[in-house]
Homo-oligomer: A and B are copies of this chain.
Amino acid sequence: MDIDAYSDYFVCSGCGHETPSDVFCTFCSRCHEPFTLESRSPARVFHWNKKGLFKRFGEFLPLDMMEPSADLGTGGTPLVPLTAVADKYGLPPLYAKMESAEPTGSFKDRGTAVAVQKALDLGIPAIGTVSTGNMAASTAAYGARAGLKTVVLVKEDTSEDKIKAAGIFGASMVRVRGDYGALFRKSLELGRKHGIWFMNSVDPFRIEGYKTLSFEIYDDLSEKPPEYVCVPVSAGGHLTGLIKGFEVLKRTGLTEAFPRMIGVQAAGCSPIVQAFRGGESHITRFNHPKTIAHAISNPDPPAGRLILKKMREHGGEMTAVTDAQILQAQRDLASLEGIFCQPASATTLAGWIRFTQSHPVDRSSQCVLVITGSGLKTVDLVDSNALFIKDSDLNELDSLFMDI
């Protein structure tokens, strides 16, 4: 389907340099900060009553052409109330936005869906990504569906299961020895050379897809933003997109309100929290990261400075939580709410509990936790010793039931 030209261009989030958009340039050549995407096009409208990400929000996406049939059913994830958890911890109205229900089981799908449409739009035949998990599966799946050649670069110690869960889509999987940060930069350089669009974590087009999560949260809550949104922070792309989404809602006049964003990192890898708390404007690489929340263990986040700037501009807050707090939150979400999420996603509950302990929060304030990924991808991290497991034979069952 055709829409009016979006007339997008890039603005450097560091030095403000403006340039035509180019999918092969994620970072500004002058200051090495990531580009963000802006549009010169006139005001656009939402189509709330339609179904599917592209039909509902297509006018706010940087696409001149869209092929909804190339989509996998992105977006439209449930928002569910967390009554039992709120009761346990004495919290005001709490909700979970279930990005774990996306087609490949993580929030990455919104970004991949938009970037892959852009690749089709521009006629780019090959895409790639650098990932340790969620992004690998997402990019490989959408790339396969769109008929694009797809390359996924992973660290040499990536588990067999994670390689299988992306490789099944027919992507070229490459295990690469060496530093992950260097691999991230190298992929962009080689991608440019070979005509492979590496849509990595802070790609400006990927970030445009994340905006749609904010649109849906606004809609799910009967056309108003919540007072708070808690989201895990790794490279910074997802949070950047969420903030952009709420900025759009405000700019279009749909609401005056802007939620207070709470970015959460694992204490064992919290470079943005440290810089935010220390009043710094740049990120210092986090040495010896160690946390069970692997999906957000990024010691040198490429959108870190952008996050610091945006969070300060909007009165956001950054907080860190320990692995013990993360695992407790994961168990609470599962055993009280029936939600099995990744440790990285559980940081949102742990972070919100921590935040409310040190900040006054109005009893009527609504808070949305973004459940970024399915626990089915990290089953190996569940500790069996914390579960109730018994052995029995058929005859013993009767007496066993008396104790249950």
Interface residues, chain A, with chain B CB atoms under 8 Å away? 69, 71-73, 76-81, 83-84, 98, 101-105, 126, 137, 140-147, 149, 151, 153, 156, 160-161, 163-165, 167-179, 182-183, 186-187, 190, 193-194, 196, 330-331, 334-340, 374-377, 379-380, 382, 384, 387-394, 397-398, 400-402, 404
Contact = CB atoms under 8 A, between A and B. Distances in A.
Q: Which of A174, A175, A193, A382 has the most CB of B within 10 A?
A: A174
Given A84-B145, A193-B398, A376-B376, 6 more contacts: A72-B338, A73-B101, A78-B103, A174-B397, A174-B400, A176-B392
Nearest to A144: B338
Contacts of A334: 141, 144, 168-170
A81 B146 CA distance: 12
Given A173-B389, A387-B167, A80 B84 contact: no
Contact of A147 (B84, B193, B194): B84
Contact of A141 (B102, B142, B338): B338
A402 B194 contact: yes
A160 B389 CA distance: 11
Nearest to A150: B404
B379 A183 contact: no
A301 B72 CA distance: 33
Contacts of A183: 394
Contact of A163 (B80, B387, B401): B387
